[in-house]
Structure 1
């Protein structure tokens, strides 16, 4: 079924083009035909003016206020003698992000206006946060640890690239007006600082942070992981021997630099020498490439990058008249041999960075060079935001022009990106091959926030559109819509794509706008109703966007009536929104439209409607003649087909659903139990709060009663009667706290059921809501918690975030015993782009969706001293991560910290962070933590973990990744620590207390090897040494003289048994 997002994609029925006096003009409709939900306005000939005066002359019609200003951003000479003027919207001298118009001029007259502008803004433009403070807040929020402006080499190179000695990567907060949702509704816009940061550690990327200028709150973050010259032959990595231009420094000395292009600083390629990260190895240390003859063959990777940059520059110049990526002749700088095993290429907004990949396949092939530099073309034209559909279009255009640059250089149409790797990663001719969608909202379409709304996946739709437009094709798309597209050749399709990107799209354009604007481009270039324009429309329809340009075909866009309502009757009429998508033909009055209507997948009814008036191309409404019976209470479905002139049905709309509801104003229920939540502090009278909803046809009257109750574990029923203080509609909810609280002290697991019991409620199925809350038994009521005993579940409860998990688990190779396991959950591809490998020492502030907790209650009233002991084992996916991520991991980040655990008391850390010492070989180790500072009260003890990925099967191999295992949890309040196993040895310490010098007396019933471990009360390791236990008695002297006064714990671990004793130093 066609998606409703395109309800407005074609021009509205009818048009306004009046020749009247200026005083009668009231809106843009007075001077233009408006199409595409207002993003296209074709100016009537009588009102066309030069671009220089157009906006000022029609400011009122364009709904611009006194505070609004449109400033000229770019002037671009297009094809067919067209000139395109891009204007940026300012409000009280502050730019409105994404709010742009493009004026299209022919023969010095504006014939078309495209784009979107926010109208009716009314907000303060005086920030409460200074730019300096905004920058500090942003740097604190950034996931970067090292930045480009700290790198002197990058700074100098930028000044060379920009031909500006003052150029810098240092971020300057820009005050803008912004809405994170790009709604173009004035009430949603805020005063915001936009700060762009080039991060070089832990990964290299551009990060844009939007910060509320009044509150300092971060609203959004986006990462974009986007003289004399002589021509000589060069051996390239992927394209054989090619002619490239180098710089002749002396008769026998040549540099890999071309000054013949651009402003004289042309194309320059430098060597990073595989020296780790860019922070560790400054670009100032990057070396030039020299040869002492005219055969450049010593570094084929550098030659490939240089050749790719030259071909990209030449393609845009000779095919589209564009002078470098910014159309200002700016230098193309490339850095090759970045780091070690870096599997990427990256455009940072000013230069290219190439990793060498793995297995001798560096990322300098033509399609990738063209792809990445095209991000610069996009940046300096449409500036498509790298998120959601605009981001998918951004990626798609880079793919498209990566292919066309390869075609320009080789005369070969290669539709894959990365074919030279022997493992391409994107295919424009078959996006599904790499799980990219070829249909809008179809198979593989990404929804949600991962990969910034699927920018590297949803680009498949634009890619397949371009492929079909170029070479043609036929088939059936994911919505069972057949298509047959005639290709128009790459020479024509690349022109349409370039004009669309550079002259029409604006920063927040989506696929719908790309469809609409591309039709305008094709019409400008090749004429209205030309074969090229029809192919553009056919190709978009093939990927599920818009409709073909066909005469004598009417499409059903939507059913406007009936809709879900109360008390529908047996004589309801069906009203449709239709689209007549002809190029310029008109359906004449009296034309018959034949309809076939199927009700509830059973009864079929035929109807014929004769048009009462002429229908021009566009959207219009029509009501069928025959009445339909929808009086039955419940759900209904309509499937409808339409044909023009005869019953050869050419279009349809299927599976339209709505509900006929009983007329009533009494349906009320509990939507949510708001309080309480699981806690150690629940009492025998904890407040219970619920949210009540109303599902009524009109309203439930003020003064009417609502009876609401709750039970705990099926008992303890409390009932209140609420008298409504005001009338309530379906949109309203009501919070109610019961007059009497609940008793949550009788069980550790409590099921709350809350429900309404109003006698006039006509629908009892939606009255109830339930919630389980936990009040664990106190941990000090049991000698030891092991997870084999199901009864011990009463002593804790777990909490997990979106991608984490905590549960009891039968651990292999652990004597068939269960443990508490804390790990990650779900497919890592769903969150991998959001993971942050920070090395700033505050790891718990990152990746919060990976957190899980196990909570225990401790009643420490009456205790003078208290200690906690537990056994801990951790594993890490460090080995696999190093293999897959290589140089993308920052040098300061220890991958063993992909598995972390800490202990909290009332949500405050008391233990420090535990991490494994080896990826998979750590044994269980007992840890002891002093809880004496918390005695005298009740508190919640929490084991919190953060694991980045769960165990998985990859490459036909099982990988143990990030896990935290906990067992044998116990408390004690004496110097002698009890043990949970039968003792095969025992020891004592004397003197105790001491000054850090003491003797350990050991009695063992057999010979064995062990370890002697001394820690402080936080678990920090003080001493670890091997020890051999002999059958009988022995003495071991320990000298740690100089320790600070306090309590320490001595552990002897034999592998099968561990004992702990307290050491007091004073």
Structure 2
């Protein structure tokens, strides 16, 4: 054992001049609370502008990257907050923001997730083509910009004659997981698409090279005269209204910000057709069967929400710019939801069975808070960031309820309009309604359902806020006991508001929320204040982090060694330790044991004997006297930990598994990563652009202007060589996409092979210079006389393109309708990978790309006057869903057919788990007669048979088997044509307690057969309906059926559709 005496005074490095330290940001840093949250020394001379201009590289960025100032705000504590947006080569990096917090002219802290190493790329498709792909993906019947009255209303709301809902394209670099790994980011077109029917508003991201849909993010977040209002839920309240005549008043006021206005949607969905609510005497006692009294609840809720934010937080409306608050009541018929769409609040009337009008005070505050979030942190509405988004709306909806109506304030969300009185969520006891109160604990939603559990996992921060406000004790799901003393709702809300508006970014997660909340409490109430301590204890209570306790030593970081070139056998190991307490100092002479371990080598232990007090809140940097041997080229694993005999918290004592790479010392290695384009496809031509990706793997950088040779050879032919003149400096692991100036001929059907390589003169590390054998397939087209039977494997593979994903597979299988082989599209192993599909019956094609498989065929119908597609189909469904959920989930085995990217078939699902026979399917594709087109079978499957947990008891997994694919001019047999996707078919409510409403289009007067089957395929109910040309509506009564899953089949000469419904 080695004992060392360490003077704390020697640990304080004097701040040197900026000019001398432009490559050593560390001189100004006090500590890193996390990798993404840096605290700076109080005496540092660094400004926000200097941090961004001089230390970009130390933040992980290169010369091609830029942090552009997006917003600058000054708060009530005299902090100035700068929110920077990252751009790479002038293109926005979506979700990559960096925040700098300055006081008295110097930086106090900074946080965010900059992304380094993004490859330079150019769009391979036009914005118009990308938009068309996005519209095909959304697949709505009507869009907002197609309705002139909606366009005119938006212009009035925005006070902008040019405002429009029509999607505008924006190029961004995008990664759906918002990682900090540059190679994960793709150049994409971003479109905001607002659909009227069915209702949706999404940011859709289209790969700018391939046209594929990368991801979609939901943007609809669900859930002056003084008058007297008899509100539906809050009794008699005073409201401000507009007097338009001596006996006519309307729900508009102008004293608060830009005004507050409330409109009547008349149970429609067209905002342009909304009208005023009016009253003759300004005593709004308009109780009626239409629930018109709910309008005053919405109006009063908007007024109280405005007042709360202004009086408690100094915020002028949701955007802090005084924008008008608009509420629309009576949205749609039997609509049991409320939502914020970025412009206004919309409130449904409920279904009358479970819910009445959703205009309660807490929900009004909740929805408007989505606007506050949009104009501050703008938390992405998925996974943990989406859960935080929902939670902040619950937090402030509740705070507004206690502020405006304290006598009726409670910790439930939506209890006023819930006929059973339970509400949607409980903030004081989330488990009571099936939500989690512990991070990753019981009831946590691990799947992609509900955008990754945004309405479920939000309850963890909800419970944190409840504990911080009123206190509580218990044991969480990690078996950790807690005892939190409440600091009051106003103080807790102040901390939450500052966290949301100052410290969080678009992609923040729960750990970021903990760090930001503690920092917000320090800003507001002081370091080691009671508010700070209880904030940390409340977060520990919900399983996020640890409480601030005396004698707690925290290993903050392993400062060195770090990944580098030419590491030696004598590398210093340096760690940083924090005294995480508040009141108790470690005294002179106290000892701390410190340890480290490299790979499988013996543990190194040393003891620090303090030469001076180690004060609460201070940090200590220690370098071991025994160096580490990292001389072997490759990856090394380094772990370190500390031990102090009075330490009450062991969870933060160690850092395990830090990966450090020793690279060969060189600055010349250029690698050929791959051929980016063209991709395999049906329409490859004689003049295709060839794009390759190269990567610099040197230790330092290659300067702008350096010449790097690249070449390719197609099908063993002429070598094409060109020189890249680097447009910017390349740093270690930077990538660059290069498009050759000429074009290549891929018009011949069959397989094309490309070899590509780099030729940088100084590069003597040649094993990664060349990439051989990239296959580009131009499939042989199918003609009228061709039937694909999948028997001849070589011939079959020449006629189609199979595409797998992480959790899917497309292959030729031995389960066939005729002969020995068929095409199989199947899933993967979600339990092993941790990637769980979102089984959303309303939107399975817009999600779960990891589970998508594709089989593409090229069809030449140029000589055909009509085209009909026919194939045999059999699908299976894993037994897992019935076992887990108590009912089958057919969406886990989904198939559709698209032509040139447009869906032309129904959505196919199995009726039974494994008993469905092969069935002939037919689709009329005559709209494509006379052309050449791409036909794609696209699937979303959960489990493969090999990964099915219930395979031993006969479960076959989720599969689609396709055989005997044929394209013909002869019409397929009557009854096999598919419903055109443009036709209307809606059914609601689903789940239902008995009555199910259907709305659909018919092309002619005819008879409709309606049959109801149970999950075993038994016919349990049937009826017939006379339908007319045009829109038809009818009601199906399932009251007499038992609870469970049923399949309703609608069949006529022009309609053949089966839908899944749930009877509650």
- Does residue 1:283 correspond to 2:281, yes or no? no
User: 1:56-67 residue pairs with structure 2 within 5 A?
Assistant: 56=53, 67=64
Matched position secondary structure for 1:233: strand
Structure 2 residue aligned with 1:297:
285
Structure 1 residue aligned with 2:141:
145
Q: CA deviation at 1:307?
A: 1.3
CA gap of 1:502–1:647, structure 2 versus 1, over 3 A, is closer
CA gap of 1:621–1:476, structure 2 versus 1, over 3 A, is farther
Paired residue for 1:353, among 339, 346, 350? 346
CA gap of 1:801–1:119, structure 2 versus 1, over 3 A, is closer
Distance in 2 (CA, whole Å) between partners of 1:944 and 1:66 is 41
Paired residue for 1:376, among 365, 371, 377? 371
Distance in 2 (CA, whole Å) between partners of 1:552 and 1:23 is 38
User: 1:792-871 residue pairs with structure 2 within 5 A?
Assistant: 801=827, 830-832=839-841, 834-835=843-844
Structure 1 gaps, min length 5: 1-12, 562-573, 597-605, 626-639, 659-728, 736-747, 749-770, 782-793, 805-825, 838-844, 854-866, 876-894, 931-941, 950-962, 971-1012, 1027-1066
CA contact (8 A) 1:560 1:577 kept: yes
User: 1:461-472 residue pairs with structure 2 within 5 A?
Assistant: 461-472=460-471
Structure 1 residue aligned with 2:211:
216
Q: CA deviation at 1:193?
A: 1.9
Distance in 1 (CA, whole Å) between partners of 2:873 and 2:18 is 88
CA gap of 1:848–1:199, structure 2 versus 1, over 3 A, is farther
CA contact (8 A) 2:827 2:942 kept: no
Q: CA deviation at 1:801?
A: 4.4
CA gap of 1:173–1:550, structure 2 versus 1, over 3 A, is same
CA contact (8 A) 2:546 2:649 kept: no
Q: CA deviation at 1:946?
A: 9.7
Q: CA deviation at 1:846?
A: 11
User: 1:160-179 residue pairs with structure 2 within 5 A?
Assistant: 160-179=156-175
Encode CA deviations 1:360-414: one digit per residue, 9 max, x unaligned: 5111111111111111111111111112221111111111111111111112541
Structure 1 residue aligned with 2:763:
none
Structure 1 residue aligned with 2:590:
591
Structure 1 residue aligned with 2:96:
99
Q: CA deviation at 1:217?
A: 2.8
Structure 2 residue aligned with 1:271:
264
Q: CA deviation at 1:289?
A: 0.9
Q: CA deviation at 1:345?
A: 0.7
Distance in 1 (CA, whole Å) between partners of 2:199 and 2:402 is 32
Structure 1 residue aligned with 2:805:
none
Encode CA deviations 1:884-919: one digit per residue, 9 max, x unaligned: xxxxxxxxxxx9999999999xxx99x986999x99
Structure 1 residue aligned with 2:194:
198
Q: CA deviation at 1:491?
A: 1.1
Structure 1 residue aligned with 2:311:
318
- Does residue 1:307 correspond to 2:294, yes or no? no
Distance in 2 (CA, whole Å) between partners of 1:830 and 1:551 is 47
Matched position secondary structure for 1:353: strand
CA gap of 1:849–1:144, structure 2 versus 1, over 3 A, is farther
CA gap of 1:273–1:61, structure 2 versus 1, over 3 A, is same
Structure 2 residue aligned with 1:47:
45
Structure 2 residue aligned with 1:528:
527
Paired residue for 1:134, among 125, 130, 133? 130
CA gap of 1:342–1:851, structure 2 versus 1, over 3 A, is farther
CA gap of 1:335–1:585, structure 2 versus 1, over 3 A, is same
Encode CA deviations 1:530-553: one digit per residue, 9 max, x unaligned: 111111111111112222222213
Matched position secondary structure for 2:228: strand
Distance in 2 (CA, whole Å) between partners of 1:217 and 1:900 is 19
Distance in 2 (CA, whole Å) between partners of 1:172 and 1:1024 is 43
CA contact (8 A) 1:927 1:1019 kept: no
Give TM-score, length-normalised by structure 2.
Answer: 0.58
Structure 1 residue aligned with 2:357:
362
Matched position secondary structure for 1:433: helix
Distance in 2 (CA, whole Å) between partners of 1:18 and 1:833 is 59
Distance in 1 (CA, whole Å) between partners of 2:829 and 2:58 is 51
Encode CA deviations 1:11-48: one digit per residue, 9 max, x unaligned: xx977552446324432222332422242232542404
User: 1:651-800 residue pairs with structure 2 within 5 A?
Assistant: 651=650
CA gap of 1:589–1:151, structure 2 versus 1, over 3 A, is farther
Distance in 2 (CA, whole Å) between partners of 1:514 and 1:388 is 14
- Does residue 1:451 correspond to 2:450, yes or no? yes
Structure 1 residue aligned with 2:390:
395
Give TM-score, length-normalised by structure 1.
Answer: 0.58
Encode CA deviations 1:139-189: one digit per residue, 9 max, x unaligned: 222243322222333322322222222222111111223333322234443
Distance in 1 (CA, whole Å) between partners of 2:522 and 2:18 is 31
Q: CA deviation at 1:438?
A: 1.6
Structure 1 residue aligned with 2:1055:
none
Distance in 2 (CA, whole Å) between partners of 1:591 and 1:505 is 38
Q: CA deviation at 1:653?
A: 8.8
Encode CA deviations 1:852-896: one digit per residue, 9 max, x unaligned: 99xxxxxxxxxxxxx999999999xxxxxxxxxxxxxxxxxxx99
CA contact (8 A) 1:343 1:356 kept: yes
Encode CA deviations 1:657-694: one digit per residue, 9 max, x unaligned: 99xxxxxxxxxxxxxxxxxxxxxxxxxxxxxxxxxxxx
CA contact (8 A) 2:305 2:400 kept: yes
Distance in 1 (CA, whole Å) between partners of 2:70 and 2:907 is 54
- Does residue 1:232 correspond to 2:227, yes or no? yes
- Does residue 1:18 correspond to 2:25, yes or no? no
Distance in 2 (CA, whole Å) between partners of 1:240 and 1:612 is 68
Distance in 2 (CA, whole Å) between partners of 1:473 and 1:316 is 27
CA gap of 1:137–1:614, structure 2 versus 1, over 3 A, is farther
Q: CA deviation at 1:248?
A: 0.6
Q: CA deviation at 1:133?
A: 2.7
Paired residue for 2:27, among 30, 44, 65? 30
CA contact (8 A) 2:551 2:648 kept: no
Distance in 1 (CA, whole Å) between partners of 2:553 and 2:102 is 33
CA gap of 1:446–1:615, structure 2 versus 1, over 3 A, is farther
CA gap of 1:801–1:72, structure 2 versus 1, over 3 A, is closer
Distance in 2 (CA, whole Å) between partners of 1:558 and 1:483 is 27
Q: CA deviation at 1:306?
A: 1.1
Matched position secondary structure for 2:255: coil
Distance in 2 (CA, whole Å) between partners of 1:29 and 1:654 is 23
Encode CA deviations 1:609-667: one digit per residue, 9 max, x unaligned: 86688756578799999xxxxxxxxxxxxxx99974x5786546999999xxxxxxxxx
Give the count of matched residue pairs. 748
CA contact (8 A) 2:190 2:206 kept: yes
Matched position secondary structure for 2:204: strand
CA gap of 1:237–1:20, structure 2 versus 1, over 3 A, is same
Q: CA deviation at 1:498?
A: 0.8
Distance in 2 (CA, whole Å) between partners of 1:624 and 1:61 is 25
Q: CA deviation at 1:67?
A: 4.7
Distance in 2 (CA, whole Å) between partners of 1:271 and 1:455 is 30
Distance in 2 (CA, whole Å) between partners of 1:528 and 1:346 is 39
Matched position secondary structure for 1:338: coil
Q: CA deviation at 1:579?
A: 5.9
Q: CA deviation at 1:560?
A: 14
Q: CA deviation at 1:463?
A: 1.1
Q: CA deviation at 1:425?
A: 1.3
CA contact (8 A) 1:388 1:453 kept: yes
Distance in 2 (CA, whole Å) between partners of 1:1024 and 1:81 is 73
CA gap of 1:111–1:557, structure 2 versus 1, over 3 A, is closer
CA gap of 1:965–1:102, structure 2 versus 1, over 3 A, is closer
CA gap of 1:186–1:460, structure 2 versus 1, over 3 A, is same
Distance in 2 (CA, whole Å) between partners of 1:575 and 1:164 is 58
Q: CA deviation at 1:251?
A: 1.0
Q: CA deviation at 1:125?
A: 6.0
Distance in 2 (CA, whole Å) between partners of 1:141 and 1:48 is 48
Q: CA deviation at 1:555?
A: 5.6
Distance in 2 (CA, whole Å) between partners of 1:929 and 1:60 is 59
